[in-house]
Amino acid sequence: MAHNAIGWYRAQLGDHSEAIEACRQGLALLREFDGRHGEAATWDTLGYAQHRAGRPAEAVPSYRHALALYREFRDRYYEADPLGHLADALLDAGEAAQARRSWQAALRILDDLGHPDAERVRRRLVETG
């Protein structure tokens, strides 16, 4: 998980290539030690770094991988989070209809959970109308 944290903070600082490299190193270690939950989080961070680096089309498969892993765990909140990230990347990649479907799926989960992030996702749907 340390590589994921490094990747996340590097991406926040705008060091996208270093963030991507840290995530890739982390994924290799996590696969070796069967750290599936950490792997899901790291795929999400990798997608974030790729997206922020201006490569949303590369971020889409990373977010989808994170989403698939979170679905395996049946962790609904952590399923909603990468759905929202995926939607942002899809929109930036020119796939507005797919983005809306992803946000709608995230919104259903967040509404079911009564989570306050539902309002943020609802606003994104309205903004991209």
Integer Cα distance of 84 and 86 in angstroms: 5
Integer Cα distance of 72 and 55 in angstroms: 27
In the numeric block, the tokens 């922020």 are attached to 52
In the numeric block, the tokens 């490299």 are attached to 21
Average of per-residue pLDDT across 4-11: 90
In one letter, which amino acid is 79?
E
Mind listing the pLDDT tens digit for each residue in 10-38? 999 999 999 999 999 999 988 888 778 89
In the numeric block, the tokens 């079911």 are attached to 112
pLDDT of residue 124: 92
Q: Given pLDDT bands bounded at 50, 70 and 90, which one contains residue 82?
A: very high
pLDDT of residue 76: 87
Integer Cα distance of 107 and 89 in angstroms: 17
Integer Cα distance of 30 and 120 in angstroms: 31
Mind listing the pLDDT tens digit for each residue in 85-109? 999 999 999 999 999 999 999 999 9
In one letter, which amino acid is 80?
A
Integer Cα distance of 61 and 116 in angstroms: 27
Three-state DSSP at 55 gives coil
Mind listing the pLDDT tens digit for each residue in 40-77? 999 999 999 999 999 999 999 999 999 999 999 888 88
Of 47, 28, 27, residue with least CA distance to 39: 27
Integer Cα distance of 64 and 115 in angstroms: 22
